[in-house]
Amino acid sequence: MKVILLGPPGAGKGTQAARIAEKLQVTRAASGDLFRGNIRNNTELGRLAKSYMDRGVLVPDDVTIRLVMDWLDSPEQSKGFVLDGFPRTLGQAEALDRVLVDKGGINRVMYINVPEAELIRRLAGRYICRICQTPYHESFSPPRQAGICDKCGGEVYQRDDDKAEVVGKRLEVFFKETEPLVDYYRLAGNLKEINGEGTIEDVGNALIAALE
Ligand code: ADP
Ligand code: ADP
Ligand code: ZN
């Protein structure tokens, strides 16, 4: 099973990806997590990606496609995968289609739709784990112990690009560059639209139901 989670920043992709991957018994990758891992290790790729991420714009396609294709290349991913945050441009979607052409292509694209005002509430209160990148929310999904990740004990922090100044730009970039993918996958016939406004539990159940 090969699944894409598509949706604006704050829609709940990261929150739901872990649950779906577990349910389907496949691995998952989040392009944003891969970039932040590189930033944390201070790699050349990390330094390049940071210069775009801090401004709320997309990392160029050539760099992003190479990063995700390297991840997809490993034998672990042959059973299937959940992709969170990739593709985000038509160029990325086409590149993904090309590499999967002999592997049956993508099975499902889950578009998690959430109104803009709610996205802003979610992003403003988001904190993530510095180590495993699990997302939390100060009101909607706080860690059991303030400031500490439930899963790994890592420190939770606010992403630089979740500050109000950058969030507006990221939403603008989503509508311009990523939203066209909704029609791209609708035409391809594998799009499922999910109302992402309910509780984390409700949205998770709707996603699992739509995958079955
Ligand atoms: P969100 O939680 O808002 O969906 P991500 O963690 O997925 O954010 O992405 C954070 C940033 O990383 C993006 O604003 C962008 O700069 C970069 N990024 C992540 N995925 C991609 C991608 N597929 N293409 C280009 N840039 C990306
Ligand atoms: P994305 O990966 O799409 O950017 P996240 O999964 O990181 O989104 O979620 C964004 C923020 O909203 C996080 O703080 C998360 O805890 C919170 N969140 C996710 N889903 C819901 C939901 N259904 N209701 C309320 N808050 C949510
Ligand atoms: Zn953690």
Q: How many domains does the chain have?
A: 2
55 has catalytic annotation: no
- Active-site residue (options: 55, 121, 130, 159): 159
59 and 136, same domain (yes or no): no
Is residue 45 within 8 Å of 38, Cβ to Cβ? Answer: yes
38 and 139, same domain (yes or no): no
User: Which atom of ligand 1 lies at the shortest distance from residue 68's CA?
Assistant: 23
Q: Which of 63, 55, 13 is nearest to 173 (CA)?
A: 55
Residue 119 is assigned to a structural domain of this protein:
no
Residue 47 is assigned to a structural domain of this protein:
yes
The 10s digit of each residue's pLDDT in 64-99 is: 999 999 999 888 888 899 999 999 999 999 999 999
One-letter identity of residue 74: S
Q: Which residue has a Cα nearest atom 5 of ligand 1? A: 32
11 and 86, same domain (yes or no): yes
- β-strand 126-129 against 156-157: which pairing, if any? antiparallel
Mean pLDDT of the chain: 96
- β-strand 81-84 against 27-30: which pairing, if any? parallel
156 and 70, same domain (yes or no): no
Could you count the other beta carbons within 10 Å of the beta carbon of residue 17? 23
103 and 131, same domain (yes or no): no
Is pLDDT above 90 for 151? yes
- Active-site residue (options: 88, 108, 122, 192): 88
Is pLDDT above 90 for 212? no
* CA angle centred on 62, ends 57 and 64, rounded to 5°: 60
83 and 106, same domain (yes or no): yes
68 and 102, same domain (yes or no): yes
Q: Can you read off the two tokens belonging to residue 175?
A: 């509508």
131 and 189, same domain (yes or no): no
Q: Which residue has a Cα nearest atom 22 of ligand 2? A: 200
Distance in angstroms (rounded) separating the CA atoms of residues 142 and 126: 9
What range does the domain containing 170 cover? 2-114+165-211
23 has catalytic annotation: no
User: Which atom of ligand 2 lies at the shortest distance from residue 125's CA?
Assistant: 14
Q: Which of 201, 194, 173 is nearest to 56 (CA)?
A: 173
Across 110-114, average pLDDT: 98
Closest listed ligand to the CA of 55:
1
From the CA of 188, how far away is ligand 1's center (Å)? 24
For every residue of 50-72, DSSP letters joined together read: HHHHTTT-PPPHHHHHHHHHHHH
159 has catalytic annotation: yes
Judge if pTM exceeds 0.95.
yes
- Active-site residue (options: 13, 28, 50, 108): 13
CATH of the domain at 110: 3.40.50.300
DSSP secondary-structure letter at 11?
S
126 has catalytic annotation: yes
The 10s digit of each residue's pLDDT in 28-61 is: 999 999 999 999 999 999 999 999 999 999 999 9
**Per the omega criterion (within 30 degrees of 0), is the bond before 142 cis?**
no
One-letter identity of residue 137: H
